[in-house]
Amino acid sequence: MIKVSIHASPEELPALIDALAAHGADFSLHSTSRVTEEWTEPVLERDVLDLLRTRAPSQYVDLFIAFVEGEVRDHGAVAELGTEKTSYVKLYVPGPRKVGAYVYVRPDRTYLDFRLPSSAADGCRFAAARNVQADNAHAVRLPLTTPDALPEAQRLARQAATEAGSA
């Protein structure tokens, strides 16, 4: 009798069983793996997800979804569509609204506008100060056109949410 120890993923097991059976092997199979996948509710509302998927250029869809999903899932942000014929998503701090959205997500134009003073863009690699009127609170813009920009977008979103929450 030959004793063999085989480590295989669940996906590889059917082919392994077929191969052993085809060679007339006498074997028994015991699985130690556990099902780890758990069904979870979608993070984003259908209308928000649809807007991101249809408005962002195809090469940037995943970046915009990752950003908005991260804000909602990890920080409890409230994601809402803009006006009736909208092309943007607004992110709010959860709870009573003291100020407007802390981020305007514009997938059609491939950028994010943060509710931050222009000085928040100092030292940023991707974000820049916008030339806006003094009463426009969204003075920092970040083009979300590369995965490298995502960490900076997340950092600015945390800063904007913190400032909006304490207003």
Which of 71, 62, 63 has the alpha carbon at shortest distance from 43? 71
Q: In terms of pTM, does the model score above 0.85? A: no
- pLDDT higher than threshold 80 for residue 67: yes
**Contact status, residue 8 vs residue 16, Cβ threshold 8 Å:** yes
Q: What angle do CA 97, 95, 109 make, to 5 degrees?
A: 60
Q: What confidence score (pLDDT) does residue 64 get?
A: 96
- Per-residue confidence at 28, pLDDT binned at 50, 70, 90? low
pLDDT in tens, 39-57: 566 789 999 999 999 999 9
Express each pLDDT in 116-144 by its tens digit: 999 999 999 999 999 888 888 899 999 99
43 is written with which tokens? 């993070």
* 107 pLDDT higher than 90: yes
Which among 62, 90, 49 has a CA at the least distance from the CA of 150? Answer: 62
Nearest to 130 by CA among 146, 144, 112: 112
